Structure 1
Amino acid sequence: MKLWQSFLVFLVGFLLVGVTLNKFLPQKVLAQDKEFCDSTGHGADSTDPQVNTALGCIPVQIDGLVAWLLPYLFGIIGGISFLLMVYSFILLATSGGDPKKVQGAKETLTSAVTGLLLSIFALFILKLIAVDILKIPGLN
């Protein structure tokens, strides 16, 4: 079986397990959830106007939008790093001792870990510079 076929089988299996767990684990129902979108977050006269979408209440002002968007971006970055690490481990396991393939797998793993660490430290550096040093309002 070729490497991309193994990866495809792994990905399909991973998705099937995720869909199965999502289907049978208890779900949160937003029928009477007061936190979903209360009246303080709507309208142009509100201090924190939000738009009610399928993703939830998305803030309209830039500071609220960035604060709402950052966890999703870091989740995506973490997921991509995880997939790259798994891919590099598969490359390493299937290299068969070939020095070029081992070196390529090590470089892929190094790039994935470096990207993950850089994205994690970017949040701390942003907080240090923007909030603590420059004291930019709205980024708390």
Structure 2
Amino acid sequence: MFPVSARLRRAIIRTAILTATATAVAVVVPAVAFADPAAPVILAAPTDLPGVISNIQTWILGILGAIVTLFLVYGGVLWATAGGDPSQVERAKGAFKNALVGFAIAILAPVFLEIVKGFVGG
């Protein structure tokens, strides 16, 4: 086995604890427990164009959010494992900057969509 620094070991342990806690919460408090069994469940996709565009927008924003989260985790891992190496710290800062730009795009995308709708009369 290769030697692991104390900082990396702490980061791995924290990640494992966070993952175990999130898994325990997901298992203990399932969303199904809060469902209303008396209400009928209707699983129908919208057939009108605004509904389809809204669904596509929701999916794209979800994917952008996942990518932002991955960049934040990547930057955090780079920062935690840098060990004082300036080039590694700069890579981590770059990953954080990319994540913030992606987050800003994800947050401002609906605003830009409304502006475009205003121009085209939608």
Q: Give TM-score, length-normalised by structure 2.
A: 0.71
How many pairs are equivalent? 113
Look up the match of 1:134.
120
> Quick check: 1:24 aligned with 2:28?
yes
Q: Where in structure 2 are there 5+ consecutive unaligned residues?
A: none
Q: Deviations over 1:9-67 (max 9, x none)?
A: 82x65444333212222623253224x32xxxxxxxxxxxxxx3xxxx32133321221
Q: Could you say what the CA RMSD is over the residues aligned between the two structures, in angstroms?
A: 2.8
Q: Greater share of helix residues, 1 or 2?
A: 2
Structure with more contact order per residue of length (Cα contacts < 8 Å, sep ≥ 6):
2
DSSP-derived class of the 1:58 partner: coil
Question: TM-score normalised to the size of structure 1?
Answer: 0.64
Counterparts of residues 1-140 of structure 1 (less than 5 Å): 1=4, 10=15, 13-25=17-29, 27-34=33-40, 36-37=41-42, 52=43, 57-130=44-117, 132-136=118-122
Q: Which amino acid is 1:76 matched to? A: I
Aligned to 1:40: none
Q: Write the letter of the residue equivalent to 1:25.
A: V
> Which runs of structure 1 show a deviation greater than 4 angstroms over 4 or more consecutive aligned residues?
12-15
SS of the equivalent of 1:128 reads helix
Letter in 1 for 2:29: L
Bigger shift: residues 82-91 or 98-107 = 82-91
**SS of corresponding position for 1:59:** coil
By percentage of residues, which structure has more strand? 1
Q: Percent identity?
A: 23
